[in-house]
Amino acid sequence: MKYAIIASNRQLQSIHGLYNKLLTKIAPEDSIDLWIIATEGEQFEGFCDDHQWIFQHVHFLSIAEYGWQEARLDALTDFFQQNIVDALFFMQNMEMTELAIRLSIRLKGSYAINIQDILLHDQYIEVQKEIFDGRRLWKEQHQDKPYCIVMKPPINENIQAASLSSKPIVHFHHFPKIASQMLENYCFMRVKNNQGLQDAERILLVGQGVGSAEAVAQLQIWAKQQKMQLGVTRAVVLNGWASMDLLIGASGQVVSPKLCLAVGVSGAAPLFYGIQNASYIIAINTDANAPIIEKADLSIIHDWKILLQPYET
Amino acid sequence: MQILVCFQPIKDASKLSTHDWETALEPSFSFLPWMLHPSDETALAAVLHLKEQRQAQYRKIHCHALAIGDSSCDVFLRRLGALGYDMLTCLEAYQDIAYHIVQYMKQYPVDVIVTGYHDDGILGCILAEKLQWSLLSYGVDLQTSVQEDALSVTILQEARKLSTIAAKPLVVSMKTMGEHDRLPIATLRQMDQAKHMPIEVVACMEKHYQTEAKGEICWSEQRHKILLDADVSIEEKQQRLWQELYIKEEKR
């Protein structure tokens, strides 16, 4: 059977983890090719120096215009209609999710997104994903090939796959001019209200449980001293204690810091959606029954005012 | 310009107690309140904002709100009618929603479809493919364009915004970004006038599947957690907390 992994060039760091996971699921005679989706101007050689060769065939797809799925879709559809594969595995992000769904429709296959585990059978594929904030698992079977599966990055991304002795055969596909009929004009702009939450490694997340606007201001000072970025829940914004651009959650920003310290946060599902990619979540709350207590990696049932004291200057 | 906004009210699952989650494999959501998904609300509010802009320029625009669900959608549709939507429809479809929307659009053709970006934007993707229209995902703002047959859509790409002038027909999947993302509150007078607006109900009984995916729900292991007792001193708590962090970092 033939498989392909499709990833953008920014996702290559996580390729080994996904590849290793797939290796345990497929038969030894099966093959996996890698497709790298890039924009014109991004170099292929640049990232391959540090990259172990684990694929026999690497396809480098370079598109002239920035980020237009239409061009990528046309190119991938053309290729996979002629070169039939059994399954396409996409590394999860927004662009890849869209690509997977639309490509599955064009190739008359099936799609599944946010998948954590798979089981490949001859006639069908069984996929598994977490739902309801990880409280339940959902398993489903798909029969229509090719299966377009959007995989969540494996937890241990540093696993190194055994490299092949021979170098891969690299295929370059370049599309310098595409017919993007829908676009008449476009320009990039800086995101005005980005407070650095997207890139922050450590975030202090403040919820309504802290009690007042003064408490939020106090925690903001503490966060600054600890070199943390402040984020807030929807309830804090609705109370007028903080501005909208600090909002984290389904209706705000989705962040992926290394450490998220949640203070006075109940842990409702829309909020948890915003911090679920955090590597480590610490919750401080006086309510032992708050949902965040169970979801966090480390929970402290105590008053934050005693634990988080700003330095006196 | 004819704009169709598709939205689907959802149950507020965050209101469900921990006890309910622990006891039943499939907890009952029936008693939970309905709410608008924040992305849907953004889509609805952005189109209202666009309508105001176009009306200020004396240009025609027809806004059509399409709710997917049952009679529980009426309260949201009435509110939208009060706020300025010209046509209200309730599409009673529970599976293969995109197919039924496409079928419905054969009666009422539109130029632009706007949806909320939830469930990873599945609805927008399928609509775009079924209609063979262009798709702009992660839209955060809609503005009028100088060209009559185009729309200015601001989309989010990674950490920056991209302002586009997109020609219709077009599907836009809107994501909440904090700008024009809440629907205004309708006045009593507006609500009173909207009482008499007709709501078209379309029942979709037809099933349209190639192969139905079989699925089942199972219990899941919760995330790893450490719960500290209230009896432990604060110093000890702090020490244990940093120890845990240190061990975790070391393991990495």
Comparing A144-153, A181-190, B96-105, the range with the smallest average pLDDT is A181-190
Q: Determine the straight-line distance between the first and last CA of chain A, rounded to whole angstroms.
A: 66
| Residue range B220-233: mean pLDDT, rounded | 52
Q: DSSP class of residue A79?
A: H
Distance from CA of B196 to the nearest CA of A (A): 32
Whether the CB of A102 is below 8 Å from some CB of chain B: the reply is: yes
If you measure CA to CA, which chain A residue comes closest to B235?
A307
Residue B244 has pLDDT above 80, yes or no: no
Q: Using DSSP, state whether A142 is helix, strand or coil.
A: strand
**Nearest residue of A to residue B22, measured between CA atoms:** A135
Which chain A residues are closer than 8 Å to B121 by Cβ? 94, 97-98, 101
Per-residue pLDDT tens digits for A213-258? 888 988 988 888 888 989 998 888 888 888 777 888 877 788 888 8
B226·A250 Cβ contact <8 A: no
d(CA A154, CA A52): 18
List all residues of chain A from 158 to 187 with a beta carbon under 8 Å from chain B. 158, 181-187
- pLDDT of B14 > 90? The answer is no
Residue A297 in contact with residue A280, Cβ under 8 Å? yes
Contact assignment for B241 to A306 by CB distance below 8 Å: no
Out of A44-58, A137-151, B20-34, which region has the weakest mean confidence (pLDDT)? A44-58
The answer to whether the Cα torsion of A105, A106, A109, A114 is positive or negative is negative
Mutate one of B223, B249, B250, B252 to test the A interface: name it (highest A CB count within 10 A). Answer: B223
What percent of chain A clears pLDDT 90, i.e. is strictly above it? Answer: 15
Tokens 């990495």 sit at which residue?
B252
Asked whether the beta carbons of A301 and A292 are under 8 A apart, the reply is no
Give the chain A residue nearest B125 (alpha carbons).
Answer: A102
- β-pairing verdict for B160-167 and B150-157: antiparallel
Of B14, B160, B222, the CB nearest to A188: B160
Asked if A139 lies within 8 A of B218 by C-beta distance, the reply is yes
Question: Does the pLDDT value for residue A47 go beyond 80?
Answer: no
**Tens of pLDDT, residues B177-210:** 765 578 888 888 888 888 888 999 988 876 655 5
C-alpha–C-alpha distance, residues A92 and A115, integer Å:
9
Is the whole model's pTM more than 0.80, yes or no?
A: no
**Number of CB pairs < 8 Å for A and B?**
186
Instruction: Decide if B157 contacts B136 (C-beta within 8 A).
Output: no
CB proximity A189 to B under 8 Å: yes
A96 Cα to chain B: minimum distance (Å): 10
Say whether residue A309 is in contact with chain B using an 8 A CB cutoff: no
Which residues of chain A are within 8 Å of residue B125 when distances are taken between CB atoms?
A: 98, 101-102, 105
Looking at residue B159, what DSSP letter applies?
Answer: T
For A102-156, the pLDDT digits (tens) are 999 999 999 999 898 899 888 889 999 888 777 788 898 988 889 999 998 765 5
